[in-house]
Amino acid sequence: THQNHSSALNPRRRPARRHHLHHHRHRRRQHRNCVDCLTSPWGLKGKLWAGSSTVDPATIIKLAAMVKEGGGDFLAMPVFGAAAMAIAGQLVYVPVGPKRCIDRIRPFLNGVMGASTIDISDQAYEKTNQLKCIGNMFLLGMVETLSEACVVAEKCEVGNEALHKFVTSIFPEGPYVLHSRRMLSSGWHRQKEPLFDIALARKDARHASLNKMVAR
């Protein structure tokens, strides 16, 4: 969820219609492939399904039920980290499910695919996706704050270099400095398409909405 200022989370800069339709068709194909796998003749008996997609808590409950009905084991295991972190093996995993399943997959997490895990394994499946949604609120808020600040600094001619010096002075360490530096040096705002699609940001924000996160 890392994006530069002039194209970050700006609802007026929507992707082209063709790209928008392609995105939804691709998502439908992904969903169909997932369902086909869960209901296939060769079944899921003896297999471990680790769900790492960013979905709303209700969906993860349905997915867990489908896997169990097929005779398989299920872990809800969303991750924190962008593609670059995945390539570097620096993802943060949040697995929830039966202890024997977590023990089975643990050797592939820390030091292999990820840098660390957040252990809430004794809680219900949906809790890990709720934590993922809360974490995304932090990321979206940070990106939005930096993006809007960069735009204002440009428009009033204060300049982004001065803004960056403010950020590094007040927040000398952490993600604000990292992403402020990236916004100045990467040229993301000059790309034709944003690095992180506004549709995906809106999807994450919808998942984190109170009416879905808090039981009534």
| Percent over 90 (pLDDT), the chain | 26
pLDDT score recorded for residue 215: 52
pLDDT tens-digit readout, 60-75: 888 899 888 888 899 9
Residue ranges per structural domain of the chain: 5-213
Measured CA to CA, the distance from residue 23 to residue 193 in angstroms comes to 13
The helix (H) or strand (E) run that includes residue 181 is helix 175-185
pLDDT score recorded for residue 16: 46
pLDDT tens-digit readout, 67-121: 888 888 999 999 998 777 888 889 999 999 999 999 999 999 999 989 999 988 8
Q: Are 77 and 93 in contact (CB under 8 A)?
A: yes
What's the CATH number of domain 5-213, 3.40.50.2300, 3.40.50.720, 2.40.50.140, 3.40.50.300?
Answer: 3.40.50.720
Number of Cβ within 10 Å of residue 76's Cβ equals 28
* Whether the predicted pLDDT of 187 surpasses 80: no
What contacts 197, CB < 8 A, 6 or more positions away?
Answer: 15, 23
pLDDT score recorded for residue 45: 81
